[in-house]
Structure 1
């Protein structure tokens, strides 16, 4: 120290003398903060420079926090409809961080209340904005209370893309604001930048978890998050840039401090590298893994029994036909109303031209032999519902309806198929069946609007259309165990002379419409015993009569027994405008055709036709063996002459009539038995030749022919246009058994496209699989079909 001026930056520690002043020559001795002409200008410029440097050093950390929270909002916004959520989260990030920056001179205990007040204002504005855009009824207080009570479960059960509504944006907004508040306070006030990054990083991880497998991997945003964090750490939040923390200390102390800092830095680097070495392989191994979907842990909205099976409500509605259920106002646009709709049955079905558009209540796809059920998985949805591609060969018409609920109860919302937009009510939606529910339940006076895309298939293509097969339609092809034998015989009889799918469906529709009576007082029920009594019960005991419940359920079951994918729909015959009453409720079946979608059928009888007795067209069950039809001998009404005795002994009367008849009958029976035995031996020889002779490829092909012949014998022939995989899927739908028919189909494809590659072991597996499936399929047939199975001559003459 020279002339009383301290060396270096320790001037503040001199003994009570203010040394920040400079005289004319820059040496302390002036008054206050004045500066002489030689040194004042330099000190002023330096002060400005220091202020600018401090401002620049204060910017990177807040910007990094804002960017990290915004990236979390962008990642979560990938499952939302539109960019609104991302912008709202960005506003929460900017607001929370700027409030902390502006209030940094306030006491720490005062910053949180100020920031929370600002959060309440931003959240209230955001909730009002989203409620207005979603056209939700109710005031701000009601909407906010509902969002606060149900925000998390609705967010995790919402249908993707999620519409930004108060209950789906509240949680991300609050979480983003709190992450910004906590990060800013820790990073800027406490100076722990790395620790301050923890809340935004946790928010980002939570966004990734909520998105799960419902969006592409967020590789770009994750790399951007890491880059922003590195840039924020590169600039210190405190102190001068490049300042030495040990400057101004005694040399010995300064050396010790620098040594400790270097050791701490080296230890921290070693720890970081070690963690990277341990965690990096685990993280790299999860790159190609499928994230966990948190939605599987949250139970979606549920319905009661009446909503799961509204088919049982038809009988009750039929007994009180005047009850008003709801009111409807309809507007139609798109193709002109004169466009002809398909005629799926006599006199047209539910979708026929010139009739009002039916309002659908529920679609029932699952049947266990007792109850038809919707079997839907509902997801909370916004106004805009997911769009499924319409059938390529159908005409799409836009139908908008305004519905006001009156006496209809439950949670199911009536709507024309297929709904695309709903306003005025919060709904949950199942895209597989197209069924809508209101989780809170229906209330009198509830008014909502539905815009639907009504598909009308091209009637000219129905006659040649095929039906799909495979796992995607196994649900609507499944036939539960316990089918009564008369139902199987009737289905086989209707399908026997109708090879095309549409012809089989029309045959079932016509049979039901011609032989059964529609009544309003029939008891409810559509289990196998109920359907068996409806179809074959005596008329004088209440059989052969029912409501649309029995007609639709019987059609769907008979259709599945003939290989048609079917389902049952419950709805209403609604006029374009006016009230819809309980008497308008009815059920109808639908059949799925390739390229045409679901086509409705109408098996109900015509009002002016008297049903014919079922016995006129239903063949009785065959007996086994069939009785021999040998005609009785004809006795002439003349008197035989008296026999004349021979001169040498008694007259030879010849063989008696009884002996002749007995001999003829016995010979006929012997011929029948011999023919059956010959057919049995020929069938067994054919099976042995297929399964035991030739190379492995030939044995695999023979096993495959055994399976296709068995399907044909069981009444489920497969077309030549089907691939092996499609045939296997149909076989699995006909009879789900443990036999791996799909593996057999794969071996057939291998044999066809790579001859000579099959092994003996594969051939043995193919033979075993075919044997198991054929045995199970035969065991599921009626007893008389099992007896005729082995002697049917069809496999001997069917072309290969």
Structure 2
């Protein structure tokens, strides 16, 4: 019974800690059983020596697993370096050998100490409880409290610990309940309050930041279109677009990607929060022909199985500094923002997203063209739908069209005369860029994504070819996140075709091609039109729920468990324990008798039950009769009820959790 209880406590604590890694539950569950190997070894050698042997073997295994990251270093340095590596890795950390070592060694040490501590009969169950607390606090700090957002695991551990003291260890020495309740409260505060107040152990080490000088990848679309059926990568998972890189800065000459990247989950939060409706997606990817530093992913990445992957937190673009190599296999888990059409119909856009609306030296023709195209639109969503339709009308995709996304190239694409190179024709680069620039001109936050369109599954795999490469624009809506539009065909991911048709039917005038204004004196600069105040709403705060409010509840649960544990032990102590229950009741009611008074004298004050219990107490103390039936506990309950009836209402309200009896000797 004792070992089963210890195994349950260790498994709960270990699986909680495993949430700081991605896909490490099996490893941590097995590590939790390492202490039982020490128990078997303790039958041959002293327990201390057995525990030391298991720990030394675990450290040797950890060194062999982690030495690949630093083969030239000595074993002690390699093991010590695993902690900084973990604190600068992605969150959750990939389940690679060098990143698993710190967590597995911690569990092996806790498991060995916990199992060997209960190997001797009559020992207290304090060490397993302390070990579970250490694992829980470690998980809370490594995940900043996200591993147990609702406190369910903490509640499960409290219940398991209570069962240990109430059932498993009823007759052995125990930690005083007052100390136990204080320890539980301290652990709860440490695990909840520290992450809630921004304590981040990763700040103790400097995370690596990778600087990458990357050219604008949009011109590569024409080259990929020319390569046609050339295979670039393979994937397993849902049929979703594969994102290669997101471009958010526009200089007027080209789009630019972020230049610095950090470990996933360690870098700061994105400048615009994720939408309120999301869908999880996980895909397995294998690079076959794709080159460069950009790492394909899906949605907003949450975890990557590569330890050297870096991310731009604002756009979710992934890179590997060493570049892609054929045969590279990995798993990406991300979230896709999936707002409903009705959510977008009345959605607003944030006013502070100036980075995504900046248009340096915007030509007047483009700004006026955007205003004419959206003059009848009521909401940001209607503006986006109208611009998608306008960009697509009378223009055709052409893989051989001139590349570029500058103002001059976009003016040729939109307004060029027939026969002019690039007039009314372009790749996805021109379609997506024209939409994004025109949308910014009327105050919509936009960015451009380079990636690959969804491909059907064949023989269990999805083969992504060069001809599947494309680009699409995205618009940010407050509360719903980034929404994709498709100015090339209008049938891509994002709002449904029915929703767009409904908007276009209301905006019949937008189906006509706007005419660029020609003035005798064209102003050199036109700033984008600001969104009306009634269309602007602040972005959601994104603050997590303050789970520290559950701390008083957990403290009350701890006090109740401690009081119940005391009553169970008093009940097992016969008449003397029953009399201590009476004295506890008197203390709770504020009626502490003088030490000089005798037991019969006090018992007679509470009726026949008190007098009979006093007789049984005297007999048990001075003339015990082995084997005699002494129904003392029912008498103690009757006295307790009588005492409670005489107590004030506020004492009765806190009767079950009042900690004062825990301190009475």
Q: Give TM-score scaled by structure 1 length.
A: 0.43
Q: Give TM-score scaled by structure 2 length.
A: 0.50
Larger Rg: 1
